[in-house]
Structure 1
Amino acid sequence: PWSVQSSNIMLWFLGCDCVKNRSSRAAAVCLVLMCVLLLTAVIVLCVHIHTKNTNYTKETQQLLTKITNLTEERDQLLTKNINLTNERDGLSTKNDNLTKQTQQNIIHQYFNVNGWSYYNLSLYFISSEWKSWTESRRYCKERGADLIIINNREEQKFVTSIAGRTAVWIGLTDSDEEGRWKWVGGSNMISSFWWSGEPSGYRGKNCAVSYPSGWYDNQCNTANKWICEKSFVKYHIP
């Protein structure tokens, strides 16, 4: 009986070892399979990520190429626009110059026929008669003008050019207050072109006359030629 029981116990232990060995092999196989599956998943994921990165890189390059092309097209359009603007400005300047030249030609032709000269937006008339300063001014005012007011050296040169060597009355007087010379209309004298020693300051010499050499004071009742002036801005060619 003891030997039988001993045999049974031995068989039970052997059976348990077999079961344990089988379970260990199964666990090992499962672990290997799981590792294979995990490695496969990692490989697939890496391939997927690499593919996406490659696609993104290609798309990025394509976008950069498009941006570069658009930038070049924009620069070309800007250059064309600048060139067209310069051409337009050049044509506009030429047109303005031609228009001004045409207007000046028309003005000169019209007013020269009618006895008036055009200069710097003003009209000038030089008489062929001799009158006193007061009568000369009356003549100008009856024609919507007044005796000339000389504002600068350029205008003084213009007066000399149209008057020549002739003395002409200008719109300058100190009749209201001795020694205080004013232009017709009441404005103060700013620029002056008196000849050396002029005005003389003699009483009775209260009106200014312009010679090629400069201005002189003179008696207002003396007969001289005169120059009328009126603004061209308010004048309309019929």
Structure 2
Amino acid sequence: MEENEYSGYWEPPRKRCCCARRGTQLMLVGMLSTAMWAGLLALLLLWHWETEKNLKQLGDTAIQNVSHVTKDLQKFQSNQLAQKSQAVQMSQNLQELQAEQKQMKAQDSELSQNLNRLKDDLVNIKSLGLNEKRTASDSLEKLQEEVAKLWIEILISKGTACNICPKNWLHFQQKCYYFGKGSKQWIQARFTCSDLQGRLVSIHSQKEQDFLMQHINKKDSWIGLQDLNMEGEFVWSDGSPVGYSNWNPGEPNNGGQGEDCVMMRGSGHWNDAFCRSYLDAWVCEQLATCELSAPLASVTPTRPTPKSEP
């Protein structure tokens, strides 16, 4: 009992010990808190220092990047100016080329016109030369034929027979006639007569017309009359004008596609027709030759060679 009472009496000293611990703990907590704050402060300072360092590096990098970008921009602007200058120069060059091209086209057009004029002049000169040559040839042929006719008349007046014709040719009044058969155009018939050393027939009298009527067997036949050179101006193959005619009523009329070549119908009347039409007959002629005695043979003129008309 006494011990319990004494025990309860000594409790106050225990409380002092507890306060001392508590003070120590508080001190430790304060020191720990201080250390923590110091560490936190140190961390903050370190973070601040690192942040400033990074910011400085970023600033330096940004400055460098800005400098590079500025230089690149300046270079780009310089290149752009150079390109603009080149574009302006190219535009000027293009305009110059276009002007030169236009000038060359004008010169080419002028040269082309001059060339065409020269070609036309050359064609005209050739045509003139051919016409003069053809005129001279026609004149020579007519002269030769007139000489041959005159010579035949002289021989006939001396009693010489001038009635010799090639085989299959018929004689009438100092001329020989060939009555061709086969489908031909007018130009084909003309060339065929030329190959036979003759020409398409020229009719100059009613007697000659009657003779031809006796042998054409009522067939439409090509004869040597045409107005190819000038419409309405008919000329015979021997170059002589029309002195005798036997036109069908209403002819010539130059109907259809243009009728420039003349045919003799089976009735004997003439009709202008399309030159490319095909007829089954045509009539050729040439001068007859004479039987000459030996003394006269040495002076016999050469028969004119029929021309090959184009």
CA distance in 2, matches of 1:19, 1:168: 145
Look up the equivalent residue of 1:9 and give its one-letter code: A
Alignment of 1:37-56 (within 5 A): 37-56=68-87
SS of residue matched to 1:140: strand
Quick check: 1:181 aligned with 2:218?
Answer: yes
Pairing partner for 1:88 from 112, 119, 122: 119
Pairing partner for 1:22 from 52, 59, 76: 52
Name the residue aligned to 1:149.
201
Name the residue aligned to 1:222.
none
Deviations 1:1-34 (A, max 9, x none): 9999959938846753662463133433432332
CA distance in 2, matches of 1:89, 1:229: 39
TM-score between both structures, scaled by the size of structure 1: 0.50
- Larger Rg, first or second structure (1 or 2): 2
Q: How many residues align?
A: 177
CA distance in 2, matches of 1:21, 1:214: 131
Pairing partner for 1:172 from 212, 218, 223: 212
Following superposition, the deviation at residue 70 of structure 1 comes to 2.8
CA distance in 1, matches of 2:63, 2:308: 109
Report the CA distance shift for 1:234/1:35 in structure 2 as closer, same or farther (over 3 A).
Answer: closer
Deviations 1:129-166 (A, max 9, x none): 8x99x65167436x9558x735xxxxxxxx5xxx5xx6
Pairing partner for 1:34 from 65, 73, 76: 65
Pairing partner for 1:136 from 164, 172, 176: 172
Quick check: 1:232 aligned with 2:306?
Answer: yes
Deviations 1:191-211 (A, max 9, x none): 8xxxxxxxxxxxxxxxxxx98
CA distance in 2, matches of 1:28, 1:38: 15
Report the CA distance shift for 1:99/1:93 in structure 2 as closer, same or farther (over 3 A).
Answer: same
Name the residue aligned to 1:185.
none
Following superposition, the deviation at residue 69 of structure 1 comes to 0.2
CA distance in 2, matches of 1:103, 1:190: 23
Quick check: 1:9 aligned with 2:32?
Answer: no
Name the residue aligned to 2:88.
57
CA distance in 2, matches of 1:145, 1:36: 108
CA distance in 2, matches of 1:109, 1:175: 32
Name the residue aligned to 1:78.
109
SS of residue matched to 2:212: strand
SS of residue matched to 1:181: coil
SS of residue matched to 2:307: coil
Following superposition, the deviation at residue 100 of structure 1 comes to 1.8
TM-score between both structures, scaled by the size of structure 2: 0.41
For the Cα contact (< 8 Å) 1:145–1:228, is it kept in 2?
yes
Name the residue aligned to 2:24.
none
For the Cα contact (< 8 Å) 2:175–2:286, is it kept in 1?
no
Quick check: 1:101 aligned with 2:132?
Answer: yes
Report the CA distance shift for 1:112/1:43 in structure 2 as closer, same or farther (over 3 A).
Answer: same
Consecutive unaligned residues in structure 2, runs of 5 or more: 1-26, 157-161, 164-169, 178-195, 224-241, 248-266, 269-283, 288-304
Look up the equivalent residue of 1:140 and give its one-letter code: C
CA distance in 2, matches of 1:32, 1:102: 100
**Identical positions, percent:** 8
Consecutive unaligned residues in structure 1, runs of 5 or more: 118-123, 151-158, 183-187, 192-209, 218-226
For the Cα contact (< 8 Å) 2:198–2:306, is it kept in 1?
no
CA distance in 2, matches of 1:110, 1:190: 22
